[in-house]
Structure 1
């Protein structure tokens, strides 16, 4: 298993994303091809995928980079491993790769959110050093 960063659009990655994202939340509509192309070209969104020995993408993680007056921060989004591949350490590999990448970007903080019912995911995040913060997260729906 290898972790690779995807920097340019390709059909194989697009198909994998359209398969993986609904496994994270069945209400998710996969992005359009143009949206994914623009995201990859932005330089602020870093897409990492887990690739199996047979060259199949079986997991993904997006790392979003931004600067604020308090420093450079990164936010982890859309961590998902294909259901038949879960429990094999792929999520951990993706997260550790993202942490290593963040260190090369001189980031101050990496943050993520996880729903409380995602027990295995929450245990994983804590096991590799993420600290649960006591805060409220708010969303304002624009559409």
Structure 2
């Protein structure tokens, strides 16, 4: 069985563009082919992350993770998950979604609101935290060496 690898697409190139042209029609027959400029916008965006799943160095799947801020939280949305028909059933969809989910958790973990919440939680915990120390006044050793 081939190894599945998932990577965050760092730059829009012909390989990824060709994969988009091959995969997106399997997701939506009404979508127009994406242009290189549009792909570059997605890859360079601060709010979207494009992932590519590979089997034997061939791109067999794509997923877009969109991370955005609303007044009450940071949200992550998974969009346009597509895996090549020839690779379906081998776990690529699960793999690519799990990788994107890890990325969304990382985005929240590193977000300022999360760090603020952690600081408040730590302050509350440490305000109520007490450490007691004691000395051992009496000690018995029942090991076999002590009984000789």
Assess same fold via TM > 0.5: yes
Q: In 1, Cα distance between the equivalents of 2:39 and 2:8?
A: 14
1:28 alignment partner in structure 2: 31
1:116 alignment partner in structure 2: none
Task: Name which of 86, 92, 95 aligns with 2:94.
Answer: 92
1:118 alignment partner in structure 2: none
Q: Secondary structure at the match of 1:8?
A: coil
Q: Aligned residues, how many?
A: 106
CA RMSD of aligned residues (A): 1.0
1:71 alignment partner in structure 2: 73
Give the drift of 1:97: 0.4
The Cα offsets for residues 82-135 of structure 1, whole Å up to 9 and x where unpaired, read as 00111111000011001111111117xxxxxxxxxxxxxxxxxxxxxxxxxxxx
- Superposed, 1:87-126 pairs within 5 Å as 87-106=89-108
**TM-score using structure 1 length:** 0.71
State which drifts further: 79-88 or 28-37. 28-37
Q: In 1, Cα distance between the equivalents of 2:43 and 2:33?
A: 15
**TM-score using structure 2 length:** 0.69
Q: In 2, Cα distance between the equivalents of 1:59 and 1:20?
A: 7
